[in-house]
């Protein structure tokens, strides 16, 4: 059946529910190039304002899934598991979570994305590792999953190609924060990967796309409902993003932070709690542990005995990275030529953080994209970020900025100082895990 793309856009603009045939036609046009970039942007904006009902979201998800190959894992003797985060600042959980779950007996074929808006992207972080292939062919992808137990890659041209095009256009047209589009984008990639279980980390707070907890709940509910409707067991955690999850924000600096986590050199408290909680849920969904709590104990053991770090190294080297990366990350990761501490304008305790502003500061440094085609500077970023409740003052700076030059540092330092609110007395951080949906 043939339709006119502009009529589909008009229908949604006027508030009508699109039929499955209309949605399938438009998605196929995305893949074939029949639908223009302007038309994609127009439909995205119409959906942003008009929304979609559950049947439309399911149809959009399934059409995007069918736009390319759908993987099967007939040789697998373990559950095929994955996790997705809706994005935040200092959220490098995937880099630890995939090898932890692999070390506990799961297989994790993780299809990840690049930076979106003010948030960092897992693929951009992994591109910091020399030689690491974030876009391997499917045969290599399967090989790495079989040998390492996990592989974190980007969408190939064969997996959900319609979503890949839609994703890039959403990033530069202010249509990211749409529950239907987020749901279909996330789940189409996950369904194409042939999963048997999926855990979703939905962020809420000043650094999240869904800043309001009610909006985050609506997204988490949509994701779990649509996933289960498509036959994929799923659970979701709603987690706090009113401050950066890790003490590092950027690309290479977050990879270094992840290696430090896996090798027990340093672990940020909030990052540790979320990573372990998601691990427990994944292992429960995969039937590898009877409860999430038992799964968390398994995750701790995989970290303590070094098995998770070994899986990460195996993944990196099999995908073309250095054979000694975990042992010597500093030797291989790019470093910015200019690094300086950002002092606090006042003495006291961190009361609140405009976390989105921290992410924007990283983008301004060159660690993110203003336009879809922009190149990333993997070396720049921010480390040693003060957390809510931390004391700041002359001897306790807000952060360490890694920049290309002094001018870039000055701009980032100004943004970071404005992002922090300081109180005279100590304050407590927000609850980290806000809600669980199973």
Residue 149 tokens, joined: 């137990």
Per-position b or e across 48-84, b if 16+ CB within 10 A of its CB: bebebeeebbbbbbbbbbbbbbebebeebebbbbbbb
CB 393 within 8 A of CB 127: no
Active-site residue identified among 189, 203, 314, 356: 189
Active-site residue identified among 128, 156, 183, 185: 185
Active site residue 143: no
Active site residue 396: no
Active site residue 85: yes
Active-site residue identified among 190, 203, 311, 314: 190
**Helix pair 20-32, 5-13: axis angle to 10 deg:** 130
Tell me if residue 368 falls in helix, strand or coil.
coil
Active-site residue identified among 12, 65, 66, 83: 83
Active site residue 83: yes
Active-site residue identified among 84, 118, 125, 270: 84
CA distances from 265 to 244, 256, 262, 300, 306 (A): 20, 10, 8, 15, 12
Tell me if residue 272 falls in helix, strand or coil.
helix
Active site residue 190: yes
Active site residue 122: yes
Spatial distance between the Cα atoms of 390 and 278, rounded to a whole number of angstroms: 26
Cβ atoms < 10 Å from Cβ of 396: 16
Active site residue 170: yes
Q: 180 phi and psi, to 5 degrees?
A: -60, -45
Spatial distance between the Cα atoms of 236 and 99, rounded to a whole number of angstroms: 20
Active-site residue identified among 114, 170, 311, 378: 170
What single DSSP character describes residue 17?
A: P
CA distances from 174 to 37, 43, 87, 254 (A): 14, 12, 15, 26
Active-site residue identified among 65, 67, 85, 279: 85
Spatial distance between the Cα atoms of 164 and 234, rounded to a whole number of angstroms: 23
Active-site residue identified among 12, 24, 66, 82: 82
Cβ atoms < 10 Å from Cβ of 244: 27
Active-site residue identified among 119, 122, 175, 183: 122
**Helix pair 269-285, 252-262: axis angle to 10 deg:** 70
Spatial distance between the Cα atoms of 435 and 290, rounded to a whole number of angstroms: 20
Residue 377 tokens, joined: 């500077």
Per DSSP, what are the bridge partners of residue 392? 348
Spatial distance between the Cα atoms of 174 and 161, rounded to a whole number of angstroms: 21
Tell me if residue 206 falls in helix, strand or coil.
coil
Per DSSP, what are the bridge partners of residue 409? none
Query: Mind telling me the catalytic residues?
Result: 82-85, 122, 170, 185, 189-190
């Amino acid at each position: 059946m043939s339709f006119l793309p502009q009529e589909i856009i008009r229908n949604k603009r006027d508030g009508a529910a699109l039929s499955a045939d209309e949605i399938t036609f438009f998605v196929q046009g995305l893949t074939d190039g029949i639908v223009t970039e302007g038309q994609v942007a127009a439909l995205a904006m119409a959906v942003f304002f008009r929304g979609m009902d559950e049947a439309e979201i399911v149809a959009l998800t399934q059409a995007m899934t069918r736009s390319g190959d759908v993987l099967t894992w007939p040789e697998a003797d373990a559950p095929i598991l994955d996790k997705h985060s809706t994005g935040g600042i200092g959220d490098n959980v995937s880099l630890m979570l995939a090898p932890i779950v692999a070390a506990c007996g799961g297989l994790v074929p993780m299809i990840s994305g690049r930076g979106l808006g003010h948030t960092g992207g897992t693929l951009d972080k992994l591109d910091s590792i020399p030689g690491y292939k974030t876009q391997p062919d499917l045969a290599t992808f399967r090989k790495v999953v079989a040998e390492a137990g996990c592989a974190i890659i980007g969408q190939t041209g064969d997996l959900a190609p319609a979503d890949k095009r839609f994703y890039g256009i959403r990033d530069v047209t202010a249509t990211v924060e749409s529950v239907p589009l987020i749901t279909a984008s996330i789940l189409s990639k996950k369904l194409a990967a042939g999963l048997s279980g999926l855990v979703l980390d939905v962020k809420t707070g000043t650094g999240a796309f869904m800043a309001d907890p009610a909006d985050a709940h609506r997204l988490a509910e949509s994701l779990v409902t649509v996933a289960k409707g498509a036959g994929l067991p799923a659970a979701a955690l709603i987690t706090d993003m009113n401050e950066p999850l890790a003490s590092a924000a950027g690309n290479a600096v977050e990879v270094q932070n992840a290696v430090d986590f896996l090798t027990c050199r340093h672990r940020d408290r909030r990052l540790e709690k979320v990573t372990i909680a998601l691990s427990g849920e994944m292992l429960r969904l995969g039937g590898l542990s009877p409860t999430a709590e038992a799964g968390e104990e398994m995750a701790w053991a995989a970290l303590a005995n070094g098995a998770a770090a070994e899986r990460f190294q195996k993944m990196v080297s099999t995908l073309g990275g250095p054979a000694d990366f975990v042992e010597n990350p500093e030797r291989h990761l790019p470093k910015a030529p200019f690094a300086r501490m950002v002092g606090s304008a006042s003495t006291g305790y961190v009361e609140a953080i405009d976390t989105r502003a921290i992410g924007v500061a990283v983008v301004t440094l060159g660690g993110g994209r203003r336009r879809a085609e922009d190149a990333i500077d993997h070396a720049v970023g921010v480390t040693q970020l003060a957390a809510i409740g931390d004391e700041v003052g002359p001897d306790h700076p807000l952060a360490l900025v890694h920049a290309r030059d002094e001018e870039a540092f000055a701009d980032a330092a100004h943004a970071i100082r404005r992002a922090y609110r300081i109180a005279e007395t100590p304050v407590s951080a927000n609850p980290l895990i806000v809600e669980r949906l199973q």
